[in-house]
Amino acid sequence: SFPDQVTIVEMGPRDGLQNERGVLSVETRISLIDRLAACGLSRVESGAFVSPKWVPQMAGSAEVLAGIRKPKGVRFPVLVPNLKGLEQALEAGAEEIAVFGAASESFSQRNINCSVAESMDRFAGVLTAARSHGLRVRGYVSCVLGCPYDGEVAPEAVAEMAGALYDLGCYEISLGDTIGVGTPLRAAKMVDVVAKRVPVEALAAHFHDTYGQALANLYAVMQQGVSIIDSSVAGLGGCPYARGAAGNVATEDVLYLLQGLGIQTGVDLEALAQTGHWICQALGRQNQSRVGLAMADV
Ligand code: HMG
Ligand code: MG
Task: Give the model confidence (pLDDT) of 245-265 as tens digits.
Answer: 899 999 999 999 999 999 999
Which pLDDT does position 167 carry in this prediction?
Answer: 98
Mean pLDDT, range 89-98, rounded to an integer: 98
Mean pLDDT, range 99-121, rounded to an integer: 97
Q: Is the CB of 100 under 6 A from ligand 1?
A: yes
- CB count within 10 Å of CB 9 equals 25
Which pLDDT does position 238 carry in this prediction?
Answer: 63
- pLDDT of 237 > 90? The answer is no
More confident site: 221 or 21: 221
CA dihedral 114→118→120→124, nearest 10 degrees, is -110
- pLDDT of 46 > 90? The answer is yes
More confident site: 35 or 21: 35
CA 100 to ligand 1: nearest atom: 58
- pLDDT of 152 > 80? The answer is yes
Cβ 257 vs Cβ 220: under 8 Å: no
Mean pLDDT, range 19-45, rounded to an integer: 95
Q: Could you tell me the distance, in angstroms and rounded to a whole number, from the CA of residue 141 to the centre of ligand 1?
A: 16
**20 band by pLDDT with thresholds 50, 70 and 90:** confident
Mean pLDDT, range 53-59, rounded to an integer: 95
Q: Is the CB of 178 under 6 A from ligand 1?
A: yes
Q: Mark the residues whose beta carbon lies below 5 A from ion ligand 2.
A: 15
Q: Which residue among 39, 147, 170, 239 is the active-site one?
A: 239
143 assigned to active site: no
Ligand nearest to the CA of 138: 1
Distance in angstroms (rounded) separating the CA atoms of residues 278 and 226: 31
Q: Could you tell me the distance, in angstroms and rounded to a whole number, from the CA of residue 298 to the centre of ligand 2?
A: 31
Q: If phi over 0 gives left and psi between -120 and 50 gives alpha, with beta otherwise, what is residue 40?
A: left
Which pLDDT does position 245 carry in this prediction?
Answer: 81
CA 288 to each of CA 86, 169, 294: distance values in angstroms, whole numbers, following the listed order = 33, 35, 11
Q: Could you tell me the distance, in angstroms and rounded to a whole number, from the CA of residue 178 to the centre of ligand 2?
A: 5
- pLDDT of 140 > 60? The answer is yes
Regarding pTM above 0.90, the answer is: yes
Query: Across the chain, what does the average pLDDT equal?
Result: 96
Identify which of 9, 17, 50 to mutate to test ligand 1's pocket (most ligand atoms within 8 A of the CB): 50
Report the complex ipTM. Answer: 0.98
Q: Is the CB of 115 under 6 A from ligand 1?
A: no
Sign of torsion over alpha carbons 69, 73, 79, 84? positive
Q: Could you tell me the distance, in angstroms and rounded to a whole number, from the CA of residue 84 to the centre of ligand 1?
A: 9
Q: Is the CB of 61 under 6 A from ligand 1?
A: no
> Which one, of 97, 12, 48, lies nearest residue 267 by Cα?
12
